[in-house]
Structure 1
Amino acid sequence: MPSGNSLPPQIQPWLLCIHNIPPKPPYLRAKVARRLAALGAVAVKNSVYALPDLETQRDGLVWLSKEIEQGGGKAFVCKASFDGIEGGGYSDAHIRQLFVDAREADYRNLAAEYQPMLDSLASPGTDEEIEKRVREWSGQLRVRYEEILAIDFFGASGRGAIETMLSTAGAWLASHEQQGVAEQAPFDPEVYRNRVWVTRPGVHVDRIASAWLIKRFIDPAASFRFATGDEGDHGVRFDMVDGEFSHEGALCTFEVLLQRFGLGADSALTILGQIVHDIDLDEDAPARPESAGILALLNGVCLGTDVDEDRISAGSSMLDTLYEHFKRSTQRQL
């Protein structure tokens, strides 16, 4: 399987960043090192770093060189090729291997860090406590893995160990989630077409996201009504006490809808489900790094209007954009 940012074997030329950083200010050297690592650069010689010629890496190096200059140092970015003519070992294959070795080390270190957590799946504790811990660390592992995958330009094989760990944790979570939700075949969306969907007034994260999911993937002709108690009897109730679709076990309403209608195979929807879960149930220990920012956006939507229909409309536009983003980003990793 190709990596998230893999390149064809014939990549030419490379980018080089060559810099000279003064001893003061002291933070500048550490900052440059962090930025180069985030871009995926490898050291060819002292103060000479290489990257494949990709737009993101090119832009990153150009901006970094400007910051070095502003900090009193010297830096420039250029294109180069490595043909090994002088026998110094700097062939194209050698430079590629530097990247593979660097990413193998990243994957190996990440696997070693999270292996004890994987080994603890059978540790004592209540089901709810264990499930929360597994959801938290597996979400963090996935984020860390995706960060490495984004700079794994030549498909280091070490990623397989991380994918196995994520798959194991995911299967464990799925089996425990199903203990809280009765096993059943996915619901047929046709049965739920052209319906009135009822939820509580004052919609916020889970209800806005659930309404978007219903309208886009389950019932395109859905209309929404906002009611409390017995007023909600005439319609399909969601995120309400005794509603047809509401929190079950450790799942928020959005996740229940994904599971009930068999939408979990859509990786972009799964990511959105993790974010809604973070915001609705695990705000203090989010699994996804985007959760806090998306909460801020949804809070802004809700502060802008008290009209529930308008909140759903504005929130749905935002979720449409997020869905397309996660859909494209997950496709690039396949």
Structure 2
Amino acid sequence: MAPRKSGKWLLLIHQIPPKPNALRVKIWRRLQQVGAVAIKQSVYVMPCSEQSQEDLSWTLKAIVAGGGDGSIGIVRFVEGLADEQVIALFQTARKSDYQKIIQDANALLSDWSAGRIDPQDPAIRGAAQVSRLQRRFDEVAAIDFFHAPEHGTAEILIQDLTARLSGQSSNESAAMHTLDGLRGKTWVTRKNIFVDRIACGWLIRRFVDRSAVFIFVDADTHTPEPDQIRFDMFEGEYTHEGDRCTFEVMIQHFGLQDRGLVPLAEVIHDIDLKDTRYDRAETAGFNALLTGLAASQPEDGRRMTLGMQLIENLYAYFQRQKGKLTP
């Protein structure tokens, strides 16, 4: 569901008898299921929508039927609690839900990648495990009213599991064909490179062409030649799309399925776009390293070489996290 634009919220204020305790537990679970969050004891908020009103109305009916009472109102927060703070409560709640899915998905990927388990072996019920994860993801996504950053990570990991379960033969062949056509090209980007362009250079060298050649140009005057591919440039073959940085776009276009790229892309995204969407613990430190590199290495070729080593180190760190790839 998209965030509401009106600044209005639905508020449920209720009282429940102390006994029986089963009613209190039932109502608490119901409010969790519909995605409501508490702003005070016995005061829950939801985005203002028809579905939210229906969910809260049924909850209130259950409260009254159990001997409690309450009311539902449409409110605006004028002082004290701000809309941004309420949205943060929703995102934090969903973050916790997604992190459990991410942890379980990474555990499966770790076992399947290490060869300890064959996901296609009927005895291990790989399809059932992925199906359960997908069902949990769908349930969380349905009440993720403000698109918590962890949504994308969980989604990608489940897609990776699904691909491994099916063998991914046709898609892998298509991806390899695409990458084959990119080898031997000259990669062109703007001068004074920083995080996104350095990360793209690393991605190209590691997954596309280990001998790739890079040139750094003035974007306003450069005329592309037939064997050149532009990245992170206006009208380039690979550049920002929507709210995704070029590194994220390349990962998708290249068809790369790699568990270490998921958290790495989140770090690159937040440094490049400065929107703290993922807010990973590693981001601030890595940003400091890259900023120091840019200050000490004015020459782009040298900066790319040293920057790619920093990217490689962070990638290796994420690869070894096993089931711990969460913010």
TM-score (norm 2): 0.50
TM-score (norm 1): 0.49
